[in-house]
Amino acid sequence: MASVSELRAVAYMTPEIYQALRPWVTVWPQSPATLNIHTAPATVLRSINADKNLTPLSESDAQSLVDYRENAGFTDLDDFLANAVFGGKPEQMAGIKGILGQASSHFLLRAEVEVADSNMRLYSVLQRRQRSITALARANGSL
- Spatial strand order in the sheet of 106-115: 106-115, 118-129, 132-140
Query: Helix, strand, coil % (nearest 5) of the chain?
Result: 40, 25, 40
Which of 24-38, 64-78, 122-136 ranks highest by mean pLDDT? 64-78
- Contact between 121 and 104 under an 8 Å Cβ cutoff? The reply is no
Same domain, 111 and 60: no
- Furthest-apart CA atoms within the chain: distance in Å: 59
pLDDT digits (tens, 9 = 90+) for 31-70: 777 889 999 999 999 888 765 566 778 899 999 999 999 9
| 13 and 54 both lie in a single domain | no
Identify whether residues 60 and 72 lie together within a single domain: yes
Q: Please tell me the total count of domains within the chain.
A: 2
pLDDT for 143: 44
Q: What is the pLDDT of residue 69?
A: 95
- For residues 79 and 129, membership in a common domain is answered with no
Is residue 59 domain-shared with residue 92, that is, in the same domain?
yes
The one-letter amino acid code at 14 reads T
| 115, 136: one domain | yes
**Number of CB atoms found within 10 A of residue 35's CB:** 17
Query: Would you say 81 and 97 are in contact if contact means Cβ atoms under 8 Å apart?
Result: yes
Q: Tens of pLDDT along 79-114?
A: 998 888 887 666 667 778 888 999 988 888 889 988
| 17: containing domain | 4-32+105-140
Write the CA distances from 67 to 27, 45, 63, 71, 81, integer angstroms.
27, 12, 6, 6, 15
